[in-house]
Amino acid sequence: MRTNEEILSSLPSDSALAGRTALVTGSTGGIGEAVARVLAASGAEVLVSGRDAGRARGVVDAITASGGRAHALTADLGAAPGEIRAFAERAQEALGGRVDLLVNNAGVYPGLLTPSVTDEEMEALWATNVRAPHVLVALLAPRMAERGAGVVVNVGSWMARVGVPYKALYPATKAAVEQLTRAWAAEFGPRGVRVNGVAPGATATRGTAGNADQLAAMTKATPAGVPVRPVDIAYAVRYLVSDEAAFVQGATLDVDGGLAATRLR
């Protein structure tokens, strides 16, 4: 099986998303980077965002080296709502005055057992995983609706619908994201803005590299048999933002190798 980087380094170009602009939060690595690069390969002009300016610049350079269009902005999605709104305005300006596609990918996953979760971790989970997408959608989705078109994709998690004994609060934030996805589809869909989500499974990223053995054990008994690659999630996002998904509304697409739906033993 080809690696994530091998695929991203040789993405074929097409014009399926030509003329559209995309804001991808948390796109300086992992799932977000893959989404940004895949959308750019299909013709979208992409805003790459994250807390590390150097990493953001690196993703932009990779996109432009392949003939795509991209811009970089630093952003802390755990910041106060006013700062997130200011970031969204800067992103819209960098993209020529509008955001057609919003991918709410940025997220944090600190904390393990419930008694050990600190107040700071609890606040970070709420602020980044739930409040930030809400602030961005509240600002940008009405503008999409005014134009009569737009797409929002929220990145959730397979853990949102499965109780596990080692982490409770993070899955709860992702369950909230799934409900927001359904509610926003009902709220904005009649005005031309589609809202959907993807639920990644155990994914091999820089952030999960320290748990490689655990990921391998979790996925060994799935139909796929191996951890999800970020690019696999990016392909699902590309489908959801494309015209091919015109009748997909309020759905959350599992991209988890069968982790949540199947048991082989």
The pairing of strands 193-200 and 45-50 is: unpaired
The SS3 assignment for 9 reads coil
What lies within 8 Å, CB to CB, of 247 at 6+ separation is: none
Q: Which two tokens stand for residue 5?
A: 């980087």
The DSSP code for 172 is: H
- CA-CA distance, 78 to 62, in Å (whole number)? 26
How far apart (Å, rounded) are the C-alpha atoms in residues 96 and 115? 47
Q: How far apart are CA 80 and CA 188, in angstroms?
A: 25
Which DSSP category does 127 fall into? I
| Strands (DSSP E) found in 78-121 | 101-104
Torsion of CA 115, 121, 125, 126, to 10 degrees: 90
- Give the whole-angstrom CA distance, residue 183 versus residue 112: 29
| Residue in 166, 170, 235, 239 annotated catalytic | 170
- Reply yes or no on whether 170 is catalytic: yes
Q: Please report how the helices 53-65 and 30-41 are oriented relative to each other, as an axis angle in degrees rounded to 10.
A: 30
For the chain, the distance separating the N- and C-terminal CA atoms, rounded to the nearest angstrom, is 24
Catalytic machinery residues: 170
